[in-house]
Structure 1
Amino acid sequence: MTRPLIGVTTSNRSGWRIFPLVALNIWLAGGRAQRWGAGRPSDVGGIDGLVIGGGDDISPDLYGGELVASARLDPARDALERRLVTEAQAQGKPVLGICRGAQMINVALGGTLDQDAYATHEDSRRYRTILPRKTVRVLSHTRLLALTGPEEMKVNALHSQAVRELGSGLRVAARDTGGMIQAIERTRDPFALGVQWHPEHLFYARRQRALFRALVAAAAAGLRSGNQVEAAGKATA
């Protein structure tokens, strides 16, 4: 069977080192990856699934927020990724959002962000490392729990922003110990899952690989007009 093709957005600055990691995870999950970015060709109609990768902060212009002094922005990438998420939803293509990507899914679907999330959630521990040090609690009765199991997870954390108000059709799937949102998901097709951490760096952990397996399974289901959420749910850890 042909491997589903997954478009992967990256930063033009750091994509050269991040894309190979994401592509490896997608390959291990049974798919194949194609790198996209601002200034590169990108056609949602030519792929089976989408990964919105990590990177710079999202401009508050997209959701009516106010700019904080510490923000580092990439307006061209913002415009590209919001279009891609919107088109993927319209065309019924599954989406996995990683860190910034989770935030972009939320913004593209009408949600807002907390630009200084650690000031809002003072009990949330801040870590600036790709090592798995942050504790995340997966919420009950979520698709994410079906993928990873109910046990707490140790993940990495490089973000300063987080989801505030949820976009249309989304629900919270995980929080950290301080209550900050760490994962969001759609409750119905097309499949969409956003995680605030970087699972591509944790490819040695079966629960993190399950996230990519879910995306690829959803993409394969979409190719045969099957139920994406149901197919993704069977890609358990």
Structure 2
Amino acid sequence: MSRPVIAVTTSRRSGWRIFPLVALNVWIGGGRAVRWGAGRPSDLDTVSGVIVGGGDDIAPDLYGGAPVTKARLDPDRDALERQIVEACLSRGIPLLGICRGSQMLNVALGGTLDQDAYATFTRSKKVYTILPKKDVRVESNTRLQEITGTAPMKVNALHSQAVDRLGQGLRVAARDTGGMIQGVERIADPFALGVQWHPEHLFYAHRQRAIFRALVTAAKARDDGRAQNPDVSADAAYS
């Protein structure tokens, strides 16, 4: 059986080292990854799913935020990824957002970001590491709960911003113990999930691998002309 092709957007600076790790997770989940980015070819007709990867902050003018002087921004990547997210949702292409990608999913749907999330959520544990040191609670009755279960999980964290006001059609899928949003998901098809942490670094954990498998399952469903979210739910229950 052929593997669905999953596009992975990356930054110009760090994509060379991040993409192989994401590609490994996609392969374990049953897909095959190709790297996209600003200045690289990107044709949605050639893929079955998309991962919007992590990296630099999103320019605040995309969601009405305050101008910042210290943040590292990439306007070309912002424009590309926003266009990709909007096109995926309009064309029924499943999508996974990782860290920045989760935020872009929210922004593309009209949501906003908290630019200094740890100042707002003072009870949230502030960590900046690829090691699993942040406690996250998955919300009940969500698709993420079907994929990973509701038991608390330890994840990593490499962010200072977080989702604030939800974009249209999204719901909260996970929060940390201080209440900060750590996961969002689209309620209806196509499958679209965003996680604030980096599951690609946690490939040794079954629940983190399941996130990539869910995207691949949704991609296969789309290729076969089936509804995506029911297949994701059924595959999660089977596994």
* Identity over aligned pairs, percent: 68
Contact 1:202 1:208 in 2 (8 A): yes
Q: Give 1:232 shift.
A: 1.5
Note the 1:183-222 alignment, pairs <5 A: 183-222=183-222
Does structure 1 residue 68 correspond to structure 2 residue 52?
Answer: no
The equivalent of 1:30 in structure 2 is 30
Q: Deviations over 1:78-97 (max 9, x none)?
A: 00000000111111000000
Does structure 1 residue 53 correspond to structure 2 residue 53?
Answer: yes
Structure 2 residue ranges without an equivalent (≥5): none
State how far apart, in whole Å, the 2-side matches of 1:235 and 1:203 are. 19
State how far apart, in whole Å, the 2-side matches of 1:7 and 1:39 are. 14
Secondary structure of 2:23 counterpart: helix
Q: Deviations over 1:159-211 (max 9, x none)?
A: 01100011110000000000000000011100000000000000000000000
Residue range with higher mean Cα deviation, 162-171 or 62-71: 62-71
Q: Give 1:69 shift.
A: 3.6
Q: Deviations over 1:202-236 (max 9, x none)?
A: 00000000000000000000001111011112343
State how far apart, in whole Å, the 2-side matches of 1:67 and 1:198 are. 26
State how far apart, in whole Å, the 2-side matches of 1:233 and 1:62 are. 33
Contact 1:210 1:235 in 2 (8 A): no
- Give, as a single letter, the amino acid of the residue that structure 2 aligns with 1:228: Q
Equivalent pairs counted in the alignment come to 237
Secondary structure of 2:213 counterpart: helix
- Give, as a single letter, the amino acid of the residue that structure 2 aligns with 1:50: V
State how far apart, in whole Å, the 2-side matches of 1:105 and 1:187 are. 13
State how far apart, in whole Å, the 1-side matches of 2:171 and 2:120 are. 20
State how far apart, in whole Å, the 1-side matches of 2:172 and 2:145 are. 11
Q: Give 1:57 shift.
A: 0.2
Q: Give 1:46 shift.
A: 1.5
- Give, as a single letter, the amino acid of the residue that structure 2 aligns with 1:213: R
Does structure 1 residue 116 correspond to structure 2 residue 116?
Answer: yes
The equivalent of 1:103 in structure 2 is 103
Q: TM-score, normalised by structure 1?
A: 0.98
- Give, as a single letter, the amino acid of the residue that structure 2 aligns with 1:92: G
State how far apart, in whole Å, the 1-side matches of 2:198 and 2:234 are. 22
Structure 1 residue ranges without an equivalent (≥5): none
